[in-house]
Structure 1
Amino acid sequence: MKVAIGGTFQPLHDGHKALLRKAYELSKNVDIGVTSDEMAHKGRVRPVRPYRERVEALRDWIKQEIGVEAHIFRIDDPYGPTLNEDYDYIVVSAETYPMALKINAKRKELGKKPIEVYRVECILAEDGRPISATRVVMGEIDVHGNLLRRRK
């Protein structure tokens, strides 16, 4: 079994951790694509830490929590290697689910079999709304979804 997962992973929050745990439950053979600095900054207004720092935090958490050495690589587009390599699963959030559908549509155009999509529901913050990197960076919640300030 081979699993694909991708993202910016910054800050690494409980939603990301749920995705990663599910990926490693499916298989220990997990390919993790982390967005390049160029891709991470494209269209974003929030600050994003450098690629190397994001990968280091991700690698450390996986080693400590999952107990394996992570296979992490840089991706420069939303597809990563999913159009060229075969995977049994792609693990996504509700937010990234549409991208998984695009990946499978492109794979179909290329004559490749689809990747089974495993969608992990969003982890909710204390206020019942999804935990997101943007909310964490904006100081609204912490990485566990605890409220830091009330919305107006």
Structure 2
Amino acid sequence: MSRADRTVILGGTFTPIHNGHRALLHEAFQTASHDGPGDGHVVVGLTSTALAKRTRSDPSHADLLGPFEKRRAALDAELDETAAAYTATYEIVELTDTSGPAATRADVDALVASPEAKAQYRAHELNRERRESGLRPLEIHTPPFVVAEDGERISSTRIRNGEIDEHGRLLD
């Protein structure tokens, strides 16, 4: 990969994958697949089970995510489908801490973050860490929430609770 390539990073648990996740992934590929030289690259951090247990308000919720390798396989299949529409390549890395490679990789240009307040706070904290380490801050790209048929945002929790499907359709 040449330095002309734009590298974009994002992370999460991605379980179950839903249209909100797809919006984040498309934003990452669109940002990486810019005009000009280079094809771009997307780095997707997938939260390890141990990190999920440490970062959840109720650590038992991490058990609902399923095994890391199963989540990785589902994400890889989704990324193969998404990447087909873009020039950018991708890789999946395991996130074992909340900062991940976004805080330390000098080759990263942009971060895609959910519009959730917690995600936005983390994005700005990552840039603070980068500046303190002598790295340039990342562009922060934030697609809007994707809403379900009822006008509420699509979330993995709502899907697991049986309220909606991955596309935001209401379930009985």
Q: Deviations over 1:8-51 (max 9, x none)?
A: 00000000001101111111400110000111233244311111
**Aligned position for 1:53:** 70
Is 1:139 aligned to residue 156 of structure 2?
no
SS of equivalent to 1:147: coil
Opposite residue 59 of structure 1, the aligned amino acid is: D
**Aligned position for 1:77:** 97
Provide the TM-score with structure 2 as the length reference: 0.81
Contact conserved, 2:25 with 2:82, CA < 8 A, in 1? no
Provide the TM-score with structure 1 as the length reference: 0.91
**Aligned position for 1:21:** 26
Opposite residue 110 of structure 2, the aligned amino acid is: Y
Q: Deviations over 1:56-110 (max 9, x none)?
A: 0111112123227630010111110112112111011112222101101111222
**Aligned position for 2:109:** 88
Q: Deviations over 1:90-143 (max 9, x none)?
A: 011112222101101111222221101001111011111110111111111111
Contact conserved, 1:62 with 1:69, CA < 8 A, in 2? no
Taking only aligned residues, the RMSD between alpha carbons, in angstroms, comes to 1.5
Residues in 1 aligned to 2:76 and 2:89: alpha-carbon distance in whole angstroms:
7
Which deviates more, 119-128 or 34-43?
34-43
Residues in 2 aligned to 1:53 and 1:147: alpha-carbon distance in whole angstroms:
26
Opposite residue 49 of structure 1, the aligned amino acid is: G
Residues in 1 aligned to 2:165 and 2:135: alpha-carbon distance in whole angstroms:
41
**Aligned position for 1:5:** 10
- Please list every run of 5 or more consecutive structure 1 residues that lacks an aligned counterpart in the other structure: none
Which deviates more, 14-23 or 42-51?
42-51
Identity across matched positions, percent: 36
Opposite residue 45 of structure 2, the aligned amino acid is: G
